[in-house]
Structure 1
Amino acid sequence: MRQTTRGGMRRWLGSLGQAVALGLAMAMVPGVGAAQAQGLSWDESLQRDAPDRYTVVRGDTLWDISGRFLRHPWQWPEVWQVNPQIRNPHLIYPGDVVYLYDCNGRPCLGLERGQGEVRLSPEVRTTPHREAIEPIPLQAIQHFLREHRVIDDPEDLDELAYVVAGDDRRLVSGAGDRLYARGSVEGRGRVGIYRVGERYLDSASGELLGLELESVGQARRMRSEDDIVVLEVTTSSQEVRNEDIVLPLESRELITQFYPRPPEREVDGRILAVPGGVRFIGRLQVVALDRGRRDGLEAGHVLMVEQQGELVSDPRTSEALRLPGEDAGLVMIFRPYEKMSYGLVMQASRTLAVGDRVHNPRQGLDAAQR
């Protein structure tokens, strides 16, 4: 019975997107619905070994849960339909069960709520809101969402305040220390202290795409005299040094819900770097890309990573040849800037590297293995 249902209706995934919720506010995005799903066959939608039922466990992410059923997790919107049995589609908890069933001649996925409880023998404990399954592993990107910054124009550095000295002639300072900065520091509250990091350059044109500012701590403004500002370091992840940049903290909302989807425009770019200096890249590593908002990228856009083909020597002519590249992973944009972006590698079937190409995912091809 199950084989007949699944084998005859692979064109629809029914309510998967809503059933697993994905924490991504799909219903709020225009242009997404069942009409788009009709372009997908059953073979293009479900994993060949998609289970009948899956019980959500602590440590799962919504991306991973979807990947157990979908061959292409980035196609969630294209197979989305309303599932009225789910009252709150933004939350899935450990103990909930995602299951496959016959939905009026279409394969659908439903959700059995665990009533917000996780059974840990010999007692039952209520699962609070904060333990709901995350859409992606947020701990891998929180530092970049909260503290990292990128400026587009290096000339802006000349206008920014900077540390000129520590108290009592200290060369480095930490939490609880007083230090002095020169320049205009707006506001009277906390400020961020940053160190100039990576310079992101376009490999072809040499254009500066962004200048990375790495957060090293925060400070409290105490007073100012002429163009000297007195600060007290409140927190620090590294020692604060002379010439570190002082900026008001950004008042931006921390994004924790992402809506994975392919870009609307054609994107063709490269992996610029891996923050921290690593060259070879695996799953759940943050990468910097040479495409940004001006290229149509937004948070949640998913790109395929094409591993650069090997450079070989023609055995007859001895000329250098670059072999064709191979699709080897998926990266999701989580922090776009004007000229470049940060993304998180969600899937990788091969070791990725700086210089690998990124482009729109191709429908109908197997996604890279997790």
Structure 2
Amino acid sequence: MPSQPNAHRASAVPARSFQRRRSAIACALACLLLLAATAAMAQGPLRTDAPDRYVVQPGDTLWGIAERFLSEPWRWRQIWQANPGIANPSRIYPGDVLVVDRSSGSPRIRKAHGGGGLRTVKLSPRVRVEELDREIPTIPVNAVAPFLSRPLITTAEEIDSAPYVVGFPEEKIIAGLGDTLFVRSITTTRNDRWDVLRPGRAYRDPDTNELLGYVATSVASAQLERLGDPATLVVTRSHKEVEVGDRVRPAQDEEPIRSFLPRPATAGMRGRIIAVLNGVSQIGQFDVVALNRGRREGVEVGTVFAAYQGGELRRDRVQARRSGWNWRSETPADTSFWFGDWELDGWNRGRPDPNAPLPLHRRASRADGQFIVPDSRTGVVMVFRTFEKVSFALVMRANQAIHVGEVVAPPRSL
């Protein structure tokens, strides 16, 4: 009987030793995971070849600057550290010095002290001086300037209710710069500047066939001379000849795109490229595209999508070479005889007499004779103008030619 406690203690020692070893191993693994996570956090979204210091140049854009530091420029806000000790801390100007600050363990981009402070502007008598070193815009403004106010997406109701050109003096059939327009009907207005627009093609959702709106392209700008029905307007700027039926609307001044920062589309948001606004067939960098998603779906100015191609069915040529079916070669002993992957899809020759005992000339192919093309990223687009059901986006990056119909979705990390 006295030996039993000793035996119990002897068996307990290896158990406790095993538990200690297991705890030590678990602790070591946890430390390794913590170190790996810390290293990943320390690197963050920075590129491996990111500069430690960059001087902002005239002509730079926020997107271009972000690409110097990040593989995914839309993540700029995650690492940008606005310096509260200088004027306009969230804006960047030519001459500002950007540095990588790793002092906090997680890298941040900030302005160097002494750069981007208060600026001195010299004033001369009788000369109006504007600030020459305007803040750096988010995207190339010259690429989107023609699309900030024109064209626009409108509805059939808006087209029907808008004042329209009904004619011209002296029985003209078109009008140009300096010509007078008769417009029905403008009886009250606070605006004397008007845009002349021409309703164009309809945009439809390629998946649901829903009518998303009509494109109204800019034809001319005009000055209101007299209210009435018809009212009279004079063409002050002409892009095309004005025709009877063109619509007019009060001119609208768009705010310059300078103050927003890109942000990725929300999870689950998907759409398609439905048109390219400059009429090319293959879309490249700085082309403007229309998307079948707008304010209704939560798209905002600055929303970033990645464009993807793939998903279509293609013929498997390898399987096609093995599609010569011979019914004589199969037996009931072969499982493919009962559960085979062949599909009868036609006749090699003219259809035989229905009284023929066997379909000697039937054609068959394997059911797996097609495959789905994996999707791949073709580029990145950023929305700069939104409508209710449509938005305009600028192609910021093109890995290859992008095409109308490609899917846009939140960008996945590379």
TM-score by length of 2: 0.70
After superposing the two structures, state which structure 1 stretch, 315-324 or 61-70, moved more.
Answer: 315-324
Offset at 1:323?
Answer: 0.7
Contact map agreement 1:219 1:235 (CA 8 A) in 2: yes
What amino acid maps onto 1:75 in structure 2? Answer: R
After superposing the two structures, state which structure 1 stretch, 208-217 or 96-105, moved more.
Answer: 96-105
1:351 aligned residue? 401
CA–CA separation in structure 2 for the residues paired with 1:132 and 1:299: 18
CA–CA separation in structure 2 for the residues paired with 1:9 and 1:61: 34
Offset at 1:200?
Answer: 0.9
Matches within 5 A, 1:84-103: 84-103=84-103
Residue 342 in 1 paired to residue 392 in 2? yes
2:136 aligned residue? 133
2:147 aligned residue? 144
CA–CA separation in structure 2 for the residues paired with 1:42 and 1:327: 27
Higher helix share: 2
Contact map agreement 2:62 2:136 (CA 8 A) in 1: yes
Residue 248 in 1 paired to residue 273 in 2? no
Q: Do the aligned partners of residues 106 and 296 (structure 1) sit closer, same or farther apart at CA in structure 2, a change above 3 Å counting?
A: closer
Higher strand share: 1
Q: CA RMSD in A?
A: 2.8
What amino acid maps onto 1:207 in structure 2? Answer: E
Q: Do the aligned partners of residues 244 and 11 (structure 1) sit closer, same or farther apart at CA in structure 2, a change above 3 Å counting?
A: farther
Partner-residue secondary structure (3-state), 2:77: helix
Offset at 1:308?
Answer: 3.5
CA–CA separation in structure 2 for the residues paired with 1:81 and 1:133: 16
Residue 215 in 1 paired to residue 218 in 2? yes
Contact map agreement 1:185 1:247 (CA 8 A) in 2: no
1:55 aligned residue? 55
Residue from 164, 186, 193 that aligns with 2:166: 164
Contact map agreement 2:42 2:105 (CA 8 A) in 1: no
TM-score by length of 1: 0.77
Residue from 360, 363, 369 that aligns with 2:410: 360
Offset at 1:285?
Answer: 1.2
1:41 aligned residue? 41
Listed as ranges, the gaps of 5+ residues in structure 1 are 1-7, 13-39, 118-125
CA–CA separation in structure 1 for the residues paired with 2:164 and 2:375: 45
Q: Do the aligned partners of residues 64 and 255 (structure 1) sit closer, same or farther apart at CA in structure 2, a change above 3 Å counting?
A: closer
Post-superposition Cα deviations, 1:284-331, rounded to whole Å, max 9, x if no partner, equal 111100011111111111111112356532222475544122012211
Contact map agreement 2:80 2:110 (CA 8 A) in 1: no
CA–CA separation in structure 2 for the residues paired with 1:254 and 1:51: 30
Listed as ranges, the gaps of 5+ residues in structure 2 are 1-34, 121-128, 321-364
1:194 aligned residue? 197
Residue from 183, 188, 203 that aligns with 1:181: 183
What amino acid maps onto 1:302 in structure 2? Answer: V
Offset at 1:179?
Answer: 1.5
Q: Percent same amino acid at aligned positions?
A: 40
What amino acid maps onto 1:98 in structure 2? Answer: L
Contact map agreement 1:273 1:279 (CA 8 A) in 2: no
Offset at 1:128?
Answer: 3.1
CA–CA separation in structure 1 for the residues paired with 2:171 and 2:251: 26
Matches within 5 A, 1:90-129: 90-112=90-112, 113=115, 128-129=131-132
What amino acid maps onto 1:350 in structure 2? Answer: Q
CA–CA separation in structure 1 for the residues paired with 2:224 and 2:197: 15
Instruction: State how many pairs are aligned.
Output: 320
Matches within 5 A, 1:4-43: 41-43=41-43
1:329 aligned residue? 379
**Which structure is larger by alpha-carbon Rg, 1 or 2?**
2
Offset at 1:263?
Answer: 3.0
1:122 aligned residue? none
